Homo-oligomer: A and B are copies of this chain.
């Protein structure tokens, strides 16, 4: 697939792009600045010389892609989506955003009472399907290709077909995707990011993750 990663210069988006490029997907790294996107593409190309990778600004990245991944800090979510809105129509938007407040180890409840994923869905409207995934994946695991990812990806969204696409991308990145129900369930999954940060601090761990058992 031709995948745009908005905010793909950040650790999480870059790590996902790296794994997807290595799996044969075409990756377009988006950034606020065209040049930063291009620089990140150069860095990724060094890691995956056989990869089909380019970098540009977010709106162009979204325009060129079949599927768009949103991987920016929550504070930049609204402005980033505003900037790419016309390019999203009829596309699947996978959001990786997990909002954390001043104290990242404490679950932060957004003033809207919604999850960041639902806020994104409200903003982009009915013509864009939003799926939440990869909220709980530590970025530093992604860049180590030999590192087995001992965690599952919880996927929330309204349409099974869209969640299946996200599941395929989980597999391509070396993880198991789990259909975790409706988009509003993203509020618990996003909150688990803070729980995992708390666990990392308390247990002096680097990459606590979640596995779903009993399936």
A interface with B by C-beta (< 8 Å): 105-107, 109, 113, 138, 150-151, 154, 178-182, 184-185, 187-192, 194-196, 198-199, 201-203, 205-215
The answer to whether A195 and B188 have CB atoms under 8 Å apart is yes
Q: Is A202 within 8 A of B182, CB to CB? A: no
> What residues of B have a CB within 8 angstroms of the CB of A196 in the complex?
212
* Number of copies of this protein chain within its complex: 2
Given contacts A191-B191, A209-B213, contact A202 B179 (CB under 8 A): yes
Answer whether A199 and B187 are a contact pair too, CB < 8 Å, given A151-B214, A212-B208.
no
CA distance A208 to B211 in the complex (A): 10
Select one of B106, B179, B184, B202 contacting A106, CB under 8 A.
Answer: B184
Residue of B nearest to A208 (CB): B214
**Contact (Cβ within 8 A) A106 B213:** no
**Alpha-carbon distance A178/B205, docked complex (angstroms):** 13
- List the B side residues contacting A150 at CB < 8 Å: 213-214
